[in-house]
Amino acid sequence: MTYKDDYMSWAGGFSACLFLENEIVPNSYSVEITFETITNNISHQNISFERVKHMINVYLQNSMIVKYDNPKIEMLKNLKVNLLTTPLDPIDSIIAICLHKKLSSITDSMLNIGKVIIQSWQGDHIKYEITNDMPEYNLLEKHNIEKTIWWNHAGPQCHHKSLHFLNNMVFNYSWKDVKLNYDADTEQTDSKFHPVILDGGKNED
């Protein structure tokens, strides 16, 4: 992690396959996430950061990315793979918006997600930078077709629950199953991440 202005940043990446109408396309993504802590509970800070890393390094690694209404999506039902379903075509900018919203949800007001910056091999390494004050950020609002759509849900899953046949193919688990639940305050998940917030150095006005 490095400090950038008032935010910390973390860089990671994952490999995934894009399931399109007529082909499956492998892709590799680079992701940079900037954030700030908004809780003084060090355990919760650590758990939140570990959730962010888990999403990128574990859940999305070797996952399948597909538009939720792809007419051939049922072909995936016999696979066992983590899944990310997008409301629009799974281009890098849409994936970045989904990720920003999801990371904001899973950190449960413990971290403030600043930017999600994504680029991919298939996208010719063009960078897309998403913040929550961009007009594009609200692009997903009209696609909240479920009571709690996955990008607004605090659990790790990233697929539309209305696609019931997919529930057998994805790895359904909770944060508690991977010891990243906030109730386990005594379980420090990573002693490397202990930011200290100091007063001073800036004018209040």
pLDDT tens profile 34-81 = 999 999 999 999 999 999 999 999 999 999 999 999 998 888 877 888
Q: Is residue 93 assigned to a domain?
A: yes
Confidence of residue 5 (pLDDT cuts 50, 70, 90): low
Q: What residue numbers bound the domain in which 70 lies?
A: 2-178
DSSP conformation class of 44: H
- DSSP secondary structure letters along 118-142: EEETTTTT--EEE-TTSGGGGGGGG
pLDDT of residue 33: 97
Q: Is residue 184 assigned to a domain?
A: no
Q: Is residue 15 assigned to a domain?
A: yes
What is the number of structural domains in the chain? 1
Name the range with the highest mean pLDDT among 135-144, 168-177, 193-202. Answer: 135-144
Q: Is residue 109 assigned to a domain?
A: yes
pLDDT (tens digit per residue) in 32-46: 999 999 999 999 999
Q: Is residue 18 assigned to a domain?
A: yes
pLDDT of residue 195: 53
Cα dihedral: 112, 115, 119, 123 (round 10): 110
Which CATH number is 164's domain given? 3.30.479.10
Q: Is residue 201 assigned to a domain?
A: no
